[in-house]
Amino acid sequence: MEILQPMLAMIVLSGILIVLLGVSRIPSIIQNFGNLQSAKHSEDLRPKLPNWMRYITDNHNHLFEQPTLFYALIIYIFLSEHVDLIHVQLAWGYVILRTVHSLVHTTTNNVSVRAPLFILSAICLVGMIVREIGFVINSVS
């Protein structure tokens, strides 16, 4: 069960970004109610948004990309009963790095800070995948 806690933390982070996205957009929705068709395509709307709103939108979208692999992998590890301290540490490393990445992305959006956080979180994720490949290879031989 310990491997599911980082997954829940990642879900909570996504939930926070959903709320932040909603709160950042509600004033514009209220102000332009009745004339919202101009926002029907995100590529039309994005250039008109202030940077801080685009950062929130971009980060929200990012949390529904690579982290979906994280969720699937955590469930796989749990169901195949391969949970160990290394997997738990890598999972928490992934969540912590992605949380800091989200903080940077939604505030300063400093790519020089964001990129290493993304790379390190990806290394955690790939590390878990490689370990699972090892478990499969060892179980076959």
Domain coordinates in residue numbering, the chain: 4-140
The per-residue pLDDT of the chain, averaged, comes to 90
Encode pLDDT of 45-83 as tens digits. Answer: 666 678 898 899 899 999 999 999 999 999 999 999 999
| Predicted pLDDT of residue 34 | 64
Range from 6-10, 21-25, 125-129, 132-136 carrying the lowest mean pLDDT: 21-25
Task: Give helix 51-62 / helix 4-31 axis angle, nearest 10°.
Answer: 140
Could you tell me the CA-to-CA distances from 62 to 56, 84, 96, 134 in Å, in that order? 10, 28, 15, 29
The count of C-alpha atoms lying within 13 angstroms of the C-alpha of 48, restricted to the half-sphere facing its C-beta, is: 10
Under 8 Å between Cβ of 125 and 69: yes
* pLDDT interval class at 24 (50, 70, 90): confident
* pLDDT interval class at 141 (50, 70, 90): confident
Choosing among 3.30.365.10, 3.40.225.10, 1.20.120.550, 3.30.470.10, the CATH entry for 4-140 is 1.20.120.550
d(CA 86, CA 12): 22
Residue ranges of alpha helices (H) inside 32-110 are 42-45, 51-62, 66-79, 85-106
Percent of the chain with pLDDT over 70: 86
Span 83-110, average pLDDT? 97
- Cα Rg, the chain, nearest whole Å: 18
| pTM of the shown model | 0.88
| Predicted pLDDT of residue 47 | 65
| Predicted pLDDT of residue 42 | 59
- Tell me, what DSSP letter sits at residue 39? G
| Predicted pLDDT of residue 40 | 55
Place of tokens 């990806």: 122
